[in-house]
Amino acid sequence: MTDINVNIPGSNLSGVKNRILVLSGKGGVGKSTVAVNLAASLAEKGFRTGLMDVDIHGPSIPTMLGISGAAAVGSEEGITPIESHGISVISISFFVENIDEAVIWRGPMKAGAIKQFVNEVNWGDLDYLVIDAPPGTGDEPLSVVQEIRDNIYAVIVTTPQVVAERDVRKSLNFCRKVNVPVAGIIENMSGFVCPHCNEITNVFNTGAGIRLSDEFHVPFLGAIPIEPAIGKMCDEGTPWITAMHDSTTAKVMNSAVDSIVDYIKENKK
């Protein structure tokens, strides 16, 4: 592991206007996919955007942005984020010598790394910092909320079935408990659109996103179907929202991003 302790007092998020924490109670629902494409969409709309990957055990952001081999550069002035697709990115994988090696850290070490991501990275002036948390309501999202107290909003990702709904409900309760306003819920993997006849097949049960939005009185931002090209582009390191700009799924995601921007504008204290 490369030493990330550069100790720069005063280098923090003071130039970052809005912080968006992407959460899900369940793994594999497309939370990182949403985080990457939310950031890419914001950057494409002309906002200065950063992406902080606080998934310490399974960082997938670098792969999804084509920078999995990158190494962070630290100096007296702090740590410089890696630039990709117009986004300033920090991930634990930029600090490990072998990206296939398991990071075996307990809570306090993870909290320490997140503290450094917040306080010692030269984020500069940003309109939005998107933060991708690992699934669940454990150490990482809690550390983020403790370190970033102001102007932080959550976006919740679920899939349509009851099994995901149960776990994602915990994420919504977490936001309530720690007083983080929820800008909305995205339902991902919501049906499969046949590339030949355009008929939608519901692979899972339906409706978790709408049900949770009604129950918690938070906005429903849209439903993104399973689209094979999305998985392919994630693996290739290209955000689908920019590469397939005119596709139905990219349009849904772009409109979700517009709703998030509007929500933050309207609810900013």
| Contacts to ligand ADP by CB under 6 A | 24, 27-33, 60, 188-189, 224, 226-227, 230-231, 234
Report the residue number, 255 or 267, with the smaller CB distance to ligand ADP. Answer: 255
Which residue, 43, 23, 54, is CA-closest to 183?
23
Residue 88 C-beta: closest distance to ligand ADP, Å = 20
Residue 93 C-beta: closest distance to ligand ADP, Å = 14
Q: In sequence order, what DSSP letters do the residues of 205-232 get, joined into one string?
A: ---HHHHHHHHHT--EEEEEEE-HHHHH
Report the residue number, 73 or 200, with the smaller CB distance to ligand ADP. Answer: 200
Residue 232 C-beta: closest distance to ligand ADP, Å = 8
Report the residue number, 156 or 260, with the smaller CB distance to ligand ADP. Answer: 156
Whose tokens are 């990115």? That residue is: 89
Q: Give the DSSP H/E element, type plus range, for residue 75.
A: strand 73-75
What is the spatial distance between Cα 188 and Cα 85, in angstroms, rounded to a whole number?
A: 23
**Amino acid identity for residue 60 in this structure:** S
What is the spatial distance between Cα 88 and Cα 85, in angstroms, rounded to a whole number?
A: 9
Sequence-separated (6 or more) residues with CB below 8 Å from residue 256: 38, 184, 186, 221, 222
Report the residue number, 53 or 147, with the smaller CB distance to ligand ADP. Answer: 53
The DSSP bridge partners found for residue 19 are 129, 152
| Helix pair 228-236, 31-44: axis angle to 10 deg | 80
Report the residue number, 44 or 227, with the smaller CB distance to ligand ADP. Answer: 227
Residue 9 C-beta: closest distance to ligand ADP, Å = 33
By CB atoms closer than 10 A (0-12, 13-18, 19+), residue 78 is buried
Residue 120 C-beta: closest distance to ligand ADP, Å = 25
Report the residue number, 27 or 181, with the smaller CB distance to ligand ADP. Answer: 27
Report the residue number, 70 or 253, with the smaller CB distance to ligand ADP. Answer: 253
- Establish how many alpha carbons lie within 13 A of residue 189's alpha carbon, considering only the half-sphere containing its beta carbon: 17
**Amino acid identity for residue 55 in this structure:** D
Residue 188 C-beta: closest distance to ligand ADP, Å = 5
Residue 24 C-beta: closest distance to ligand ADP, Å = 5
